[in-house]
Amino acid sequence: MLVLSLAYQSLKNRVLTTTLTVISIGLSIALLIGVENVRVGARESFANTISQTDLIVGARGGSLQLLLYSVFRIGAATNNITYQTYEHWKNHPAVAWTIPYSLGDSHRGFRVVGTDENFYTHYRYRRDRSITFESGRLPQDVFEVALGSDVARTLGYKTGDKVVITHGVATAAGRGILDHGDKPFTVSGVLKKTATPVDRSLYIQLEGISAVHIDWTDGAPPMPGEEVPAAKITKQTMKIDQITSFLLRSKSRIDTLRLQREISTYSEEPLQAIIPGLTLQELWRTIGYAEDALTVVTFFVIIVGLLGMLVSLYTSLNERRREMAILRAIGAGPVKIISLLVLESFLLSIAGCVLGVALVYVLSVTFQPIVEQHFGLYVPIQAPTMTGWIYLGAVAVAGLLIGFIPAWKAYRNTLSDGLSVRL
Amino acid sequence: MFMRFTVVLVVAGMAVFGQARSRKAHEHGSAKVSIAFETATGAPKGVIAFEAPAESVVGFEHEAKSVADKTKVAAALRMLAARFGEMVILPAVSACKVTNKSAKVEALKEQHSEVHAEFAVACAKPLAGLEIRFGFMKVFPKIHDVEVALLAGEQQSKADVENDKGVLKIAK
């Protein structure tokens, strides 16, 4: 108890050095725990880009390719699915709901997605969040479009504006090769930000995709005079022939496995069905190496913080030779001298840990909504994870062990100082 | 930011796509297990599907025509049905009962065949927060690389189990 009091008073006596050392360790800890939280948050956010969807179904090909074009709007499908096949699975007794996607067109670098009402009703991300509107409503007419929030913000569109979609994928800089200029769409609503790829697409009805291609032949636009005017097109007259992929929710998770097998062996059309969570995990495993690199860097930061503490204690010893000699003179044994220095080091590292954790919480509470809004990264505010506690324990133990170096030096000094004439 | 992320995804996608393409559908020594529970809470009920090259389970892949071969197939399938609980080790505290629903050898193209089996699982206590462990090699020493998929409520996760090492955590 006496040693503890002495250690406390000694640290208090050197308040500036103590504060700087604690801040240095605290910042290192905050970085380490912060990176751990960001890592967990990034993995969670990535895994929850799409939720409550049991299967994604598309033409047979690569599972990653299907995930990339259906969820991230990257790349393109090798084949489409006939609408007849889609309806077969949509009406399957084990299926609760489906969301069809028809891809292939774009608008100034953003993908256009043909879908139906089920997208607005059933699509979920980040566990149970659904699609909601910032303004306006979902498209009801063939030539209405709902905009993802990034699309509206980047292009400055609002409800009521006219949008011309491009055949194929156009560059962000300008128009594509062929525009569907004779059939413009009216913005019916803007979706609320989801911080997922949903924000970067335009949503029209499946009939809208058919409508803009109604007078096209073999991928070519109509000859002059052969165009079908937009005014003559209604939702009821549109026939949907094919879609690109669809999301599927089964009535029970047990049915999911059976459905996946049935879809993959469907004899009418070569299909594949992937479980999105598993494919996302596979993808994360590949891009997740970056998180290991980040952890390595933060470990080095911790080492630098601890070395700073060692240097601080070690260099202060010279100033404290008189203090040590007095302690020896009044009867403090070597164990007491060593305990004092080790305890000081331990207290510094504990204070650093406390400061670091507090910093993480303050920063998380302050910046969590901003980070989520701008980067789509949901950093959880929670007690340190098991890994976090291991890090904290390791730093505390490292602080304790490092204390032995100056302690041993102090003990040696007190011996030589005791024999010397001058201090 | 998005563009950089997109590039990373595309490159990663190509890398994983490449891996997926190089993985043979029928690879001796490997197996695939799919586990599905409607929920991990309460008294969970679910199914487990198992598929593996027949060579890894029965010891050969040609059609069993002789009496000796037919006996071997029957014995291997009996062992699979009886000892599956040692291969997919559900948490003991959940008191799960695993019942074999089907087990058969299915012929594939190019002289290959696979074992397909399905099991029903009924647990008395929740599985949430617990772990599933594996012991394939104890029963069939040739099965050393198993891809295990788990669906439990909204959880969708997978584990690559090599030489029986690896666990699947069931979310709380």
Asked whether the beta carbons of residue B151 and residue A257 sit closer than 8 angstroms, the reply is yes
Same domain, A206 and A64: yes
Helix, strand, or coil here: A126? Answer: coil
**pLDDT score for B17:** 40
Residues of chain B found within 8 Å of residue A287, distances taken between Cβ atoms: 8-9, 12
Asked whether the beta carbons of residue A254 and residue B15 sit closer than 8 angstroms, the reply is no
What is the sign of the dihedral through the CA atoms of A396, A397, A403 and A405?
negative
Is the complex ipTM more than 0.85?
no
Inform me whether the C-beta atom of residue B41 falls under 8 Å from chain A C-beta atoms: no
Inform me whether the C-beta atom of residue B89 falls under 8 Å from chain A C-beta atoms: no
Asked whether the beta carbons of residue B157 and residue A287 sit closer than 8 angstroms, the reply is no
Instruction: Using CB atoms, pick whichever of B151, B157, B158 lies closest to residue A256.
Output: B151
Instruction: Using CB atoms, pick whichever of B13, B21, B47 lies closest to residue A254.
Output: B47
Same domain, A220 and A296: no
> How far is Cα A290 from Cα A288, in angstroms, rounded to an integer?
5
Task: Let me know if A329 is exposed, middle or buried by CB neighbors in 10 A (0-12, 13-18, 19+).
Answer: exposed
Pairing mode, if any, of strands B168-169 and B155-162? unpaired
**pLDDT score for A58:** 97
Same domain, A15 and A103: no
**pLDDT score for B25:** 63
Choice between A216 and B33, residue whose per-residue pLDDT is larger: B33
Asked whether the beta carbons of residue B6 and residue A252 sit closer than 8 angstroms, the reply is no
Same domain, A41 and A68: no
To the nearest whole Å, the CA of A395 is away from the closest chain B CA by 28
Q: What Rg, from alpha-carbon coordinates, does chain A have?
A: 32
> How far is Cα A35 from Cα A33, in angstroms, rounded to an integer?
5
Q: Which of A244, A274, A304 is the last residue of a domain?
A: A274
Residues of chain A found within 8 Å of residue B2, distances taken between Cβ atoms: 200
Extended beta strands in A199-340, E state: 201-205, 242-243, 245-250, 271-274
Asked whether the beta carbons of residue B21 and residue A64 sit closer than 8 angstroms, the reply is no
Residues of chain A falling short of pLDDT 70: 1, 170-177, 318, 415-423
Inform me whether the C-beta atom of residue A287 falls under 8 Å from chain B C-beta atoms: yes
Q: State the DSSP code for A217.
A: B
Choice between A45 and B102, residue whose per-residue pLDDT is larger: B102
Same domain, A241 and A183: yes
Task: Answer yes or no: are the C-beta atoms of A205 and A235 closer than 8 Å.
Answer: yes
Task: Answer yes or no: are the C-beta atoms of B108 and B114 closer than 8 Å.
Answer: yes
**pLDDT score for A40:** 80
Asked whether the beta carbons of residue B37 and residue A52 sit closer than 8 angstroms, the reply is no
> How far is Cα A266 from Cα A84, in angstroms, rounded to an integer?
13
> How far is Cα A95 from Cα A206, in angstroms, rounded to an integer?
20
Half-sphere exposure of A377 (CA within 13 A, CB side): 19
Asked whether the beta carbons of residue B21 and residue A283 sit closer than 8 angstroms, the reply is no
Q: Is A279 part of a structural domain of the chain?
A: no
**pLDDT score for A175:** 54
Q: Is A282 part of a structural domain of the chain?
A: no
Question: What is the DSSP secondary-structure string of chain B?
Answer: -HHHHHHHHHHHHHHHHHHHHHS-SS-TTEEEEEEEES-SSSS-EEEEEEEEEHHHHTS--S---SHHHHHHHHHHHHHHHHHHHHHEE--GGG-EEEEEEEEEEEE-STT-EEEEEEEEEEESS--TT-EEEE-HHHH-TT--EEEEEEEETTEEEEEEEETTB--EEPP-
Q: What Rg, from alpha-carbon coordinates, does chain B have?
A: 18
**pLDDT score for B92:** 96
**pLDDT score for A60:** 93
> How far is Cα A232 from Cα A210, in angstroms, rounded to an integer?
14
What are the two backbone dihedrals, phi and then psi, of residue A176, each rounded to the nearest 5 degrees? -85, -170
User: For residue A47, what are its two tokens?
Assistant: 């895994």
Range of the domain at A177: 55-274
Inform me whether the C-beta atom of residue A199 falls under 8 Å from chain B C-beta atoms: no
Same domain, A394 and A297: yes
**pLDDT score for B10:** 47
**pLDDT score for A174:** 55
Q: Is A400 part of a structural domain of the chain?
A: yes
Instruction: Using CB atoms, pick whichever of A64, A67, A278 lies closest to residue B158.
Output: A278
Half-sphere exposure of A46 (CA within 13 A, CB side): 21
Q: Is A340 part of a structural domain of the chain?
A: yes
Same domain, A414 and A305: yes
Instruction: Using CB atoms, pick whichever of B12, B20, B39 lies closest to residue A62.
Output: B20
Task: Let me know if A32 is exposed, middle or buried by CB neighbors in 10 A (0-12, 13-18, 19+).
Answer: buried
Q: Which of A274, A297, A317 is the last residue of a domain?
A: A274
Same domain, A148 and A38: no
- A167 forms beta bridges with A178
Element (H, E) at A130: strand A129-130
Partner B, chain A 64-83, Cβ-Cβ below 8 Å: 64-65, 67-68, 72, 74-75
> How far is Cα A346 from Cα A395, in angstroms, rounded to an integer?
9
**pLDDT score for B13:** 46
What is the sign of the dihedral through the CA atoms of A345, A349, A355 and A356?
positive
Instruction: Tell me which of B1, B2, B5, B9 to substitute to probe the interface with A (most A C-beta atoms closer than 10 Å).
Output: B9
> How far is Cα A150 from Cα B45, in angstroms, rounded to an integer?
43
Neighbours of A243 (CB within 10 A): 25
Asked whether the beta carbons of residue A276 and residue B1 sit closer than 8 angstroms, the reply is no
Residues of chain A found within 8 Å of residue B1, distances taken between Cβ atoms: 375
Task: Answer yes or no: are the C-beta atoms of A353 and A395 closer than 8 Å.
Answer: yes
Asked whether the beta carbons of residue A54 and residue B6 sit closer than 8 angstroms, the reply is no
Instruction: Using CB atoms, pick whichever of B8, B16, B49 lies closest to residue A64.
Output: B16
Same domain, A32 and A105: no
Q: Which of A213, A244, A274 is the last residue of a domain?
A: A274
**pLDDT score for B16:** 42
Residue appearing with tokens 């880009």: A49
Look at chain A and report how many structural domains it folds into: 2
**pLDDT score for B4:** 44
Same domain, A14 and A153: no
Report the amino acid identity of residue B18.
G
Asked whether the beta carbons of residue B151 and residue A286 sit closer than 8 angstroms, the reply is no
Same domain, A238 and A328: no
User: For residue A19, what are its two tokens?
Assistant: 């504060």
pLDDT single digits (tens) B119-139:
999 999 999 999 999 999 999
User: For residue A87, what are its two tokens?
Assistant: 């309806």
Asked whether the beta carbons of residue B153 and residue A64 sit closer than 8 angstroms, the reply is no
Same domain, A35 and A80: no
To the nearest whole Å, the CA of A68 is away from the closest chain B CA by 8
